[in-house]
Amino acid sequence: MNSDIVKPENLVYSRTKVLTDATMHYCPGCGHGTTHRIVAEVIEELGIQDQTVGVAPVGCSVLAYNYFDVDFQEAAHGRAPALATAVKRLNPNLFVFTYQGDGDLAAIGTAETIHAANRGENITMVFVNNGIYGMTGGQMAPTTLVGMKSATTPYGRNVELNGYPLRLTEILATLPGTYFVTRQSVHTPAAVRKAKKAIKQAFENQKLKKGLSFVEIVSNCNSGWKMTPVQANKWMEENMFPNYPIGDIKVEGKLVEGIGLDRLVVSSPLTVK
């Protein structure tokens, strides 16, 4: 270690203080850790640590309340948007966010998610989509791609038997209650910077009181996908991104130019290569 460089005044990056010292239980390379960190960094940069309430889901990120040094509520499975609605309506000046995975938000919590968005609640929702139920052992989720192997679809998801994958983010963008809808990822430095910018925007939007801000993070699940973290990130780029395209979908209450009906209404199933 070079002691000329390692001095407090030369520090350019370190773990944010809005995360607690607890070691995260996530698997090595999991996007949840990175997403936690950028949400915490946004809270630190906006200076709203004492005005923020998070709502934790059920799933891999069920223990999120152990890792953020902000007030937290634990919701019943899928009901985070409903709980966040209550917190926000009782304390309209607080910043309220939910942090959910695809099994929580897009499966059991579909009703709560769609209705919170349609009511235009002034909350921020962070949705981590890894196309699988990670915590319970890699079963098929609504977001699992056609042909993708999981514990309950060992020969790949079959449309005739399992139906089509769900792109909830596109569905939410069509609702008048959403103000900001975007899809990001956290597997490279550039992607993390963009995702952080999007999450910051989603938190700042709460001051405007114009509707729900929704940030999807397309993530990996190397344990569930049975790959190394680096392989999983590559597989995600090749298979998840064509089906879950990265970028803003709705900004300031309007669909981004170029996002047409063909994008919002999926006519062909989302398939792995």
Partner 1 sequence: MAIKGEIVIDRERCKGCGVCLGACPKSVIALSKNVNGKGYNYAEAVKDECIGCASCAIVCPDGVISVYKANL
Q: Which residues bind partner 1 (CB under 8 A)?
A: 1-2, 4-7, 10-16, 19, 23-24, 26-34, 37, 186-189, 192-193, 222, 228-230, 233
Closest approach of Cβ 197 to partner 1, in Å? Answer: 13
Long-range contacts of 200-207 (CB under 8 A, 24+ apart): 200/42, 200/45, 200/46, 202/97, 202/124, 202/126, 203/42, 203/43, 203/46, 203/48, 203/95, 203/97, 203/124, 204/46, 205/122, 205/124, 205/179, 205/180, 206/95, 206/96, 206/122, 206/123, 206/124
Nearby residues of 183 by Cβ (< 8 Å), 6 or more positions away: 169, 215, 216, 217, 218, 244, 245, 246, 247, 249
Closest approach of Cβ 188 to partner 1, in Å? Answer: 6
Q: Which is nearer to partner 1, 24 or 76 (CB)?
A: 24
Closest approach of Cβ 58 to partner 1, in Å? Answer: 21
Q: E strand or H helix at 113, and its extent?
A: helix 110-119
- How far is C-alpha 178 from the chain's CA centre? 16
Closest approach of Cβ 185 to partner 1, in Å? Answer: 11
List C-alpha distances in Å: 33 to 16, 27, 55, 170, 226: 12, 9, 17, 25, 19
Q: Which is nearer to partner 1, 85 or 219 (CB)?
A: 219
Half-sphere exposure of 165 (CA within 13 A, CB side): 26
Closest approach of Cβ 4 to partner 1, in Å? Answer: 6
Closest approach of Cβ 7 to partner 1, in Å? Answer: 7
Q: Which is nearer to partner 1, 27 or 251 (CB)?
A: 27
Locate tokens 């890699």: which residue?
A: 138
Rounded distance, CA 38 to CA 202, Å?
12
Q: Which is nearer to partner 1, 120 or 229 (CB)?
A: 229
Closest approach of Cβ 16 to partner 1, in Å? Answer: 7
Q: Which is nearer to partner 1, 90 or 190 (CB)?
A: 190
Rounded distance, CA 30 to CA 50, Å?
28
Q: Which is nearer to partner 1, 143 or 223 (CB)?
A: 223
Q: Which is nearer to partner 1, 24 or 48 (CB)?
A: 24
